[in-house]
Amino acid sequence: MQFVQRLIECSNALVTTVTSFFPTALAVCFWAMAPGVQAAPNPGGSGTLRSSGLQDICLKGTEVVPEVCGQVQVNWKLWALMGEPIGDFVLGWKPGTIRIASAEGGGSQLHQVDSLPAPLSKAAQNMELYVEAVAFVEKPPASPNYNTVAITFNTGVASKPGETSMNVPGGYDWDKFLHGGMSSEGIALGAVGWCSEKGRRDLSAKDAKAIMLAGVKLQGLQLCPKSTVDVSPMENAIAKVCESALIEAGLGPSSHFCPKKEAQKPEPKKANAIDDAFARLEGRRPAETANTDKAKPFDSMSSKFEAAEAERKAREVDKARALAAQRDREAEAERQALRREAAQNFCTTAKDAQDSCAAKTCGSKPSATMCLRSVQDPYPPCKAGPGFSCLQIPHYSCVEQGPNPKLPEWESCSAGVDRSCAAAGKPIASVDACVAERLK
């Protein structure tokens, strides 16, 4: 009786949702009819993930900018579409502190982003964060098969502070959807060990479906080692600030990241014949002009050495600047190549997901017309001969055709499928157009 009552309730639910949510409702009903499974009103779940204890998350940078710390937030949603699990994870973040290396050696200093000079504070808003992470299912249903349940994910293309990452909902396989244990190598790494696929144990499809039906709530955001922050905007800004006139005016405590400039010695005052004449009349000692002829050879040689040394230093400075410019160009070229590769991968995956979603949602396009009335063709004469009989197979011919009622339904579905299949962004017309848009 309990099974029949559930079947009746599901049938009533299907009547009200069949026009737009038939696949999802059907999947929920078949799960709900399983004995001992209590389905949530909306299988799956949604929410916001933050770091444990609301503490800033820190990521390693480069030699010039060794560390960036900030607030990281991931908005997530899990649901089922056409009987398969779907996940959507979108990133938002804000840098709080940045560690900058000292130019003269001796370690580094930590700076609040808001307290940095304006050019550096502005550059911090152009850094891009890419996140691969793991989160944990809060209070999973009791089962002897697992104690802790985790899910791994990424948040799409790297994003700047104040912007949400561009991501497309992705599908999972039920038997690789959730994880119930990690390898012995991963255990030694703590929570980060869940990021390693090697030796990680996945939940069975049955257990994963039970968790989804009971309702999912995620907690404990933990970034994986593959998460990266692009600090090249900060490095470029530091180089420009240190070469500008701002150093002459002084940057207070932030100037430690710029090399110190040597103080220029004042030029000696040149002797003046008129001043010397008045000095003699007044009984004062004239400027040191005695033995001028004797000092000329030494002064001339010293001047040549100074000129040669100045020329050598100038060449070294020019060479260092040329090398720095070359490194900047190479770094920029590499960064652009990585951006293009990331955009190409993202757009290809997004277009495939969008096309797959559209095909699953609306199916193939039906024909414009169909046969409305047909008649049976007369049987041909039997030519088997005496003593034999013929097997007569009926054939029918269409005598009236008309519009196919399935075509308007398919066209209506296709008109809105682009929007529904691109829930995290605008529909993608082509991969090339998507890549060009992301590289602007």
| Mean pLDDT for back-to-back runs of 10 residues, the chain (440 residues) | 42 38 39 43 83 79 90 92 90 92 80 88 92 86 71 91 87 88 69 80 89 89 90 88 61 61 56 62 55 50 72 86 87 86 84 75 82 85 76 84 85 71 68 83
Q: What is the pLDDT of residue 265?
A: 55
Report d(CA 353, CA 320) in Å as an integer.
Answer: 49
85 phi and psi angles, rounded to 5 deg:
-75, 140
Q: What is the pLDDT of residue 182?
A: 78
What tokens does 227 get?
């998460």
Residues 6+ apart with CB under 8 A from 145: 180, 203, 204, 207
Q: What is the pLDDT of residue 335?
A: 85
Q: What is the pLDDT of residue 1?
A: 40
Mean pLDDT of the chain: 76
Q: What is the pLDDT of residue 17?
A: 37
Q: Which amino acid is at 178?
A: L
- Crossing angle (nearest 10°) for helices 406-421 and 292-362: 150
Q: For the stretch 71-96, what's the b/e string if a residue is b when 16 or more beta carbons lie within 10 angstroms of its beta carbon?
A: bbebbbbbbbbeeebbbbbbbbbebb
Q: In Å, how far are 260, 261, 316, 322, 382 from 311, measured between CA atoms?
A: 20, 18, 9, 16, 113
Q: What is the pLDDT of residue 184?
A: 66
The CB density around residue 232, as the number of other CB atoms within 10 Å, is 20
- Which pTM value belongs to this model? 0.51
Q: What is the pLDDT of residue 290?
A: 45
Q: What is the pLDDT of residue 363?
A: 76
**Is residue 133 exposed (0-12), middle (13-18) or buried (19+ Cβ within 10 Å)?**
buried
Q: What is the pLDDT of residue 281?
A: 61
Residue the block writes with tokens 């989804």: 212
What tokens does 281 get?
């009349």
383 phi and psi angles, rounded to 5 deg:
-115, 25
What tokens does 70 get?
């900030």
Q: What is the pLDDT of residue 76?
A: 93
The CB density around residue 154, as the number of other CB atoms within 10 Å, is 17
Of 242, 229, 225, whose CA–CA distance to 97 is shortest?
229
**Is residue 64 exposed (0-12), middle (13-18) or buried (19+ Cβ within 10 Å)?**
middle
Residue the block writes with tokens 């500008």: 244
Q: What is the pLDDT of residue 11?
A: 43
Q: What is the pLDDT of residue 109?
A: 85
- Crossing angle (nearest 10°) for helices 205-214 and 2-32: 110
Residues 6+ apart with CB under 8 A from 216: 44, 45, 78, 137
**Is residue 2 exposed (0-12), middle (13-18) or buried (19+ Cβ within 10 Å)?**
exposed
Q: Which amino acid is at 127?
A: M
